[in-house]
Chain A
Amino acid sequence: MSAEPDTARWTWRPDVPAPSTGGAGRGRHRRAGELGRTVVRGIGQTLVTLGLVVLLFVVYEVWVTDLLTAQRQGQLSDELHHGWDDPTVAAPGGTPAPIDVAVGTPFAVLHVPRLSSDYSRVIVEGTAGEQLAQGPGHYVGTAMPGEQGNFAVAGHRVGRGSPFLDLDQLRPGDPIVVETAGWWFVYRVLGDRATGDFGGDPSGIPGQQVVRPSEVDVIAPTPDGAPDGPATGAYLTLTTCHPKYSARQRLIVHALLDGGPISKTAAPDGPAALSEG
């Protein structure tokens, strides 16, 4: 294949001036060509750099925030257990004392055996970015663990330790165990355990739903009830973003307290539900 004449036709040489051009004109042309190339190269390098910065941001969002949050969770866990072991705090009596904590304070540990047998995350009070960067956050004003009403907790789906990444894996009947200073509370995801249908619960409240971000009814005292309505039971609600990597919707899991509080003096290593799943 002798393609030489063809390819030669396509070779564009802007820097080769026509032989008839004078000396001064040639210099000007060359300078203009160099300037053009410098500008184009500058734009190209800037775009490549921006691409790398965006990639680095993905790395930050998906992995680096995990490291930062894991470190903070370790500190919170130490802080929490140090407070719990404090002998000046009265030992748990017959019933759990009401919990009253300031925003930003850790006060409970969330265990979800379905997600992992050693899944435990310290819950902090408040759902602002600062609190959620540390771990799951409790909606201020909603019920506390074990109380009548709705113990509502938000957590990140992706990044920041991804505490609620696999929230969609929970099935009806799965235990969600909340540990406080002196007590264990076992909640179970609503729905029909036999068929796995989230909508099959006698209460009419679904075990799992996907809602718009503005649907605050999910954290009402009775889930999906009026925001200031009466509580019909001790519920637990977990909220996170949906679908993964998006903030278009919210994935919601509702659970109901199963049995009464279990004292830590009776079960130091936790209730039997902890080893389910």
Chain B
Amino acid sequence: MYTWIWRHLPGGAPGKTLLSLMLVLAVCALLLFVVFPWIEPSLPFSDVTVDR
């Protein structure tokens, strides 16, 4: 997978490195600000209230 991405990124080694970094950051941001807040309510360990 990573080999495939690396092969398909345009530019030489410096350009590929820069693009890879940006891709990694974009994926992290997507996870932190979209995916995790979305799945968090369905996980049990944020329960702090007493209820029936």
Contact = CB atoms under 8 A, between A and B. Distances in A.
A109 B51 CA distance: 24
A132 B50 contact: no
Interface residues of B, number: 18
Contact of B36 (A57, A154, A158, A252): A57
Contacts, number: 71
A246 to B, nearest CB: 6
A241 B32 contact: no
B52 interface: yes
B41 A129 contact: yes
Contact of A127 (B1, B44, B49): B49
18 contacts: A45-B2, A53-B31, A56-B31, A57-B36, A60-B36, A154-B49, A213-B49, A214-B52, A216-B52, A239-B48, A239-B49, A241-B45, A241-B46, A241-B48, A247-B47, A250-B48, A250-B50, A252-B50
Interface of A: 41-42, 45-46, 53, 56-57, 60-61, 64, 127, 129, 132, 137, 139, 154-160, 164, 211, 213-216, 218-219, 239-241, 245-247, 250, 252
